[in-house]
């Protein structure tokens, strides 16, 4: 094969690879969940590994985390009130950006809604001490929990953090939001769906 023929074949293979990559990208990009599905998927059950019940609703899977004193706390311990669960870490910029809105919502709705702000600790990049110092340094007073063993994150965190779930008083997931909630109004909209 001559040098020109090799160049033409190589160029055709390169163009073919580019076309395959472009088609693959377009197929996969539609499968990425929206950043905010509070507005687009209100009342849609977002199942984190739980089987749906006959009524079409999804019961929130139970998990165990630790409170600031190191005491084990289960999600099921919070039954009877609507629950907002937010998974975050202090190294996560989008997580930190939305925490002031959660503080504001906690101050406004904390009497009627349970807030579980779950710090995703890994023992290295994020530890209980790092998370607690960040929250204290910002003056946040919302209830802080630590996922020391990964029980909660294994059941609820899909791919991205922050991740927020809105659970009604009967323990059913009403909606969720993967990624940062865009603004306070969207957070309130999610809370109103479970009140």
What is the pLDDT tens value at each position of the chain, 195 positions in all?
777 777 766 666 665 556 445 444 444 333 333 345 576 444 444 445 445 565 678 999 999 999 999 999 999 999 999 999 999 999 999 999 999 999 999 999 999 999 999 999 999 999 999 999 999 999 999 999 999 999 999 999 988 899 999 999 999 999 999 999 999 999 999 999 999
| Residue 87: closest CA among 118, 111, 64 | 118
Rounded Cα distance between 90 and 4, Å, is: 57
- Cα angle vertex 181, ends 177, 186, to 5°? 95
In this prediction the pTM is 0.76
* Cα–Cα distance measured from residue 120 to residue 156, given in angstroms and rounded to the nearest whole number: 11
Rg of the chain over Cα atoms, rounded to whole angstroms, equals 21
Token couple for 171: 């323990």
The angle subtended at Cα 14 by Cα 19 and Cα 27, nearest 5°, is 20
How is 101-140 classified by DSSP, letter by letter?
A: HHHHHHHHHTTTSEEEEEE---SSSS-HHHHHHHHHHHT-
> Where in the chain are the domains?
1-32, 58-194
| Strand 114-119 versus strand 83-88 pairing type | parallel
Which two three-digit tokens encode residue 24?
């693959």
Answer yes or no: are the C-beta atoms of 106 and 142 closer than 8 Å.
Answer: yes
Strand (E) or helix (H) holding 83:
strand 83-88
Residues β-bridged to residue 52:
58
Nearest residue to 165 (alpha-carbon basis) of 144, 141, 187, 183: 187
CATH of 58-194, one of 3.40.50.2000, 3.40.50.720, 3.10.310.30, 3.40.30.10: 3.40.30.10
């Amino acid at each position: 094969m001559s040098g020109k023929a090799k160049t033409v074949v190589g160029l055709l293979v390169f163009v073919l690879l580019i076309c395959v990559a472009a088609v693959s990208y377009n197929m996969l990009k539609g499968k990425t969940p929206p950043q905010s599905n509070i507005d687009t998927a209100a009342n849609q059950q977002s199942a984190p590994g739980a089987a749906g019940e006959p009524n079409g609703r999804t019961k929130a899977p139970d998990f165990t985390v630790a409170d600031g004193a190191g005491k084990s706390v289960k999600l099921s311990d919070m039954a009877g009130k609507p629950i907002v669960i937010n998974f975050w870490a202090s190294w996560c910029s989008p997580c930190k950006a939305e925490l002031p809105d959660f503080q504001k919502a906690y101050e406004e709705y904390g009497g009627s809604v349970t807030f579980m702000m779950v710090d995703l600790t890994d023992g290295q990049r994020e530890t209980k001490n790092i998370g607690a110092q960040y929250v204290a340094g910002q003056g946040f007073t919302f209830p802080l929990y630590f996922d020391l063993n990964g029980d909660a994150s294994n059941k609820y965190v899909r791919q991205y953090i922050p991740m927020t779930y809105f659970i009604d008083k009967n323990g059913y997931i009403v909606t969720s939001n993967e990624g940062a909630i865009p603004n306070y109004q969207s957070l309130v909209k999610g809370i109103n769906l479970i009140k």
